[in-house]
Structures are given as C-alpha cells and as structure tokens.
C-alpha cells in the first residue's frame, strides 16, 4: 500500500506507560494511558528523561492544589514525535525541553523586558488542562489532568507550542532535562532576578538541587562569600564543591539563624535566597539580609494555605523582597541558550544528579527526595 502519509501517522492515539496520581498522599500508579494526537498548535513529545522536583511532591501533599487524577512532572527533555496543524517551528525528531512556564510572546509580561510570567501559565487557575480546556490523556476511560502544561511522568506527552523549546541536537537529554526547571530556576534566581554583583555576600537557604544551582549562580556572578544554610549537614560537602564558602546548620545554634548570619557578616548578607518553600525560612532569609540595601528572593514554592505576617520595619529600612519563577528567564528564549552554555561547559549539571532510576521506580525516586538523599 506504500508509505502511510505523515499527516495520518500524526493522528494516531498512542498507548504508553505513565505514572498517574489518582489522589493525594498516595503512591504513583504505573498505568497504560492513551495519549491523543496533538491538536492545532500542539506538539507531541516522546519523553526521554525527567527529573523529580519538590514542586511535584507539593501536589501530592496538597500544599500546591491541583485537580486529580493527574500526570505530574515538569522537568524533562525529549524528542518531538508529531506536530499539530499550524506548527512551523518544530518537526518530528527535534530535541526539545517542555516549558512549565510558557512564553507566548504576545502578553504584557512576555512583551515587557522586566517580566517572564506569561499569562498563559497554569499556576493561577490550576485548571490542569490544555489551553483549549480539554485533556490529551485518558486512563481506564477517564480523562487525566495535565500538570503546568507539561506532564512529563509519561512516555509521551502533548504540550502547546508556546510551552516547548527546541535545543541543540547534540545535547545529552538525561543531563539537560534539569534545565527544564531545577537548574534554571536556581541559577537564574541569582544571576537574573537578584542580579548578584561581584564581591557581594550571599546566603542560600535550602540545599536541594535548586539551592545548589543558586550557589552556582552566585559563584558565576562573582560573589565573594556564599553561606549555605540547611538543617541537613549531609548537604554541605556538595554545597562547598559547587562554591559555598561557609555552611550553617541552624540546629547547631541557640539563637535564630538570621542573627547568626548577621554576626558572621557584620550587617547581614547582600543577597539571600529562600529555596525551601516554608514561611519560617522566608522570614529568616529576609531578616538575614542587609537592612538598607539587602535583597531577598523567594525561590521555593509557597505553601497554598499559609499567610506571612512580619514586622514591616524589615522592609521600611530599604530591603527588597522579590519572588522568582523559573529564575526570571523568558523560557522559550533562555532554555536553548542555557543548553548551549552547558555544551560550552560554562556550568556543570552532573553534581546535581544523585540517582538515575528506570521510570517504573518513580516511587523510589520520591522516597529519595523526601529523605533528603
């Protein structure tokens, strides 16, 4: 019958394995799912490697509210399998990174040089659907929700073309998947959001993959002193390897950690970064930076139901308090450049990778996350 035309191939439903989260606080269930073909302006991707991020775990525990059932995952790299109508910038075989923060190029935040929170993001609404209000995933006859427009805990996913970046075809996908979230988020918080300057002092609260990436950003920006703060001292060796000059465990002191940092530095640090996602550490990071020109950046995802109350004098004296999503980068523009920089050895990713597991062992991966390993 001859070769099947490509346009027909791209209309097939794909059956594959995915890690489905049916309800909160339960393990992932490896299921066969059906992945619909990409609609207009959509791209279907074969996921080759995906990282595990604390933000995925926040959905499981309920501190980031999303609808169930859902396919989580937002830090990945893969290969384009097929494209929908109207897609001109991607073709099958392209190596890509899905973007949990899209870049439409048309909204006020995309147009502004100061912004990166594209209006088409799924943070505020948490609808868990494609932009047209429907899902591309079905399991056991039921629709399954998407996560942040990416859903990478599956062998195949569908994303909108505003939520994917084409990258160097030579890039190792099992490494550069980290540029889809953890590395870019941390590194960018230092170089892009805070704009750390040479000779400055920094404190980084939380030494997971994102916190370690903040340290790399502070070092790349020329900070003279980088103080790593974590209640797990096992994290200190790697923090020092990546550029931390001092390590502080708050449990070793009888006074608040911000007082410890102020004593260590004289007036507090020039820049502090909260990379945990806890109210108490956000306040400690703010209080630990210099009272007049210190800058504190919230990088960790805030818990859904909690509110902060604090002494406004902390800000009145001149401190700046900022938030940073995806390191302040415009995603579609920045990701290919960051991958190119990695290929030029401008930064390393290997130290951020502690374990490599087969996809079916995803629950073990989350156990390693939760135990700080």
Is 9 inside any structural domain?
no
Of 236, 245, 243, which is closest to residue 220 (Cα–Cα)?
243
* Cα–Cα distance measured from residue 347 to residue 187, given in angstroms and rounded to the nearest whole number: 10
pLDDT of res. 353: 94
- Per the structure, how many domains does the chain have? 2
245 and 292, same domain (yes or no): yes
pLDDT of res. 123: 77
pLDDT of res. 11: 77
* Residue 131 CB-density burial (10 A; 0-12 exposed, 13-18 middle, 19+ buried): middle
Is 289 inside any structural domain?
yes
Question: Helix 257-265 to helix 279-288 angle, to the nearest 10 degrees?
Answer: 20
First to last CA, the chain: 54
145 and 40, same domain (yes or no): yes
Rg (CA), the chain: 21
88 and 138, same domain (yes or no): yes
Is 227 inside any structural domain?
yes
348 and 273, same domain (yes or no): no
Is 2 inside any structural domain?
no
The CATH number of whichever domain residue 352 belongs to comes to 3.90.180.10
239 and 115, same domain (yes or no): no
HSE of 110, CA atoms in CB hemisphere, 13 A? 15
pLDDT of res. 305: 80
Is 1 inside any structural domain?
no
pLDDT of res. 3: 54
Contacts of residue 319, Cβ cutoff 8 Å, sequence gap at least 6: 286, 289, 290, 291, 292, 293, 294, 295, 296
The CATH number of whichever domain residue 263 belongs to comes to 3.40.50.720
Is 4 inside any structural domain?
no
Average pLDDT per block of 10 residues along the chain, 373 residues long: 52 95 96 97 98 92 91 98 96 98 96 95 82 95 96 98 98 98 97 98 96 98 98 96 98 98 98 96 98 97 86 96 97 98 96 95 95 87
Is 113 inside any structural domain?
yes
313 and 262, same domain (yes or no): yes
210 and 237, same domain (yes or no): yes
217 and 97, same domain (yes or no): no
pTM value is 0.93
85 and 118, same domain (yes or no): yes
65 and 115, same domain (yes or no): yes
Domain that includes residue 39, residue range: 14-182+328-371
169 and 86, same domain (yes or no): yes
284 and 332, same domain (yes or no): no
Residues with catalytic roles: 53, 55, 58, 74, 181
- Do residues 289 and 268 make contact, with C-beta atoms less than 8 angstroms apart? yes
């Amino acid at each position: 019958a001859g070769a099947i035309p490509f346009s027909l191939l791209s209309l097939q439903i794909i059956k594959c394995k995915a890690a489905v989260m049916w309800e909160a606080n339960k393990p992932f269930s490896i299921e066969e799912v059906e992945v619909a073909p990409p609609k207009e302006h959509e791209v279907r991707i074969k996921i080759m490697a995906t990282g595990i991020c604390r933000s995925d775990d926040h959905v499981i525990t309920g501190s980031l509210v999303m609808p169930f059932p859902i396919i989580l995952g937002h830090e990945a790299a893969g290969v384009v399998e097929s494209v929908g109508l109207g897609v001109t910038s991607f073709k099958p075989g392209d190596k890509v990174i899905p973007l949990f923060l899209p870049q439409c190029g048309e909204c006020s935040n995309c147009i502004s040089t100061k912004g990166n929170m594209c209006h088409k993001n799924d943070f505020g609404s948490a609808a868990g659907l494609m932009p047209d209000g429907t899902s591309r995933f079905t399991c056991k006859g039921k629709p399954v929700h998407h996560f942040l427009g990416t859903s990478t805990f599956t062998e195949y996913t569908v994303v909108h073309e505003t939520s994917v970046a084409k990258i160097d075809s030579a890039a190792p996908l099992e490494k550069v998947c980290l540029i889809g979230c953890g590395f870019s988020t941390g590194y960018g918080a230092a170089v892009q959001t805070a704009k750390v300057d040479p000779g400055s002092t920094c404190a980084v609260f939380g030494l997971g993959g994102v916190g370690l990436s903040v340290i790399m950003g502070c070092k790349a920006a020329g900070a003279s002193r980088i103080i790593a703060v974590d209640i797990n001292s096992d994290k200190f060796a790697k923090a020092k390897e990546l550029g931390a000059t001092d390590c502080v465990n708050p449990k070793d002191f009888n006074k608040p950690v911000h007082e410890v940092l102020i004593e260590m530095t004289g007036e507090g640090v020039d820049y502090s970064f909260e990379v945990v996602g806890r109210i108490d550490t956000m306040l400690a990071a703010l209080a630990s930076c210099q009272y007049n020109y210190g800058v504190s950046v919230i990088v960790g995802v805030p818990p859904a139901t909690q509110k902060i109350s604090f002494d406004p004098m902390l800000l009145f004296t001149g401190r700046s308090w900022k938030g940073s999503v995806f390191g302040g980068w415009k995603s579609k523009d920045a990701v290919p450049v960051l991958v190119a920089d990695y290929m030029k050895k401008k930064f390393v990713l290997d130290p951020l990778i502690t374990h490599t597991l087969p996809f079916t062992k995803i629950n073990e991966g989350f156990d390693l996350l939760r135990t700080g390993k």
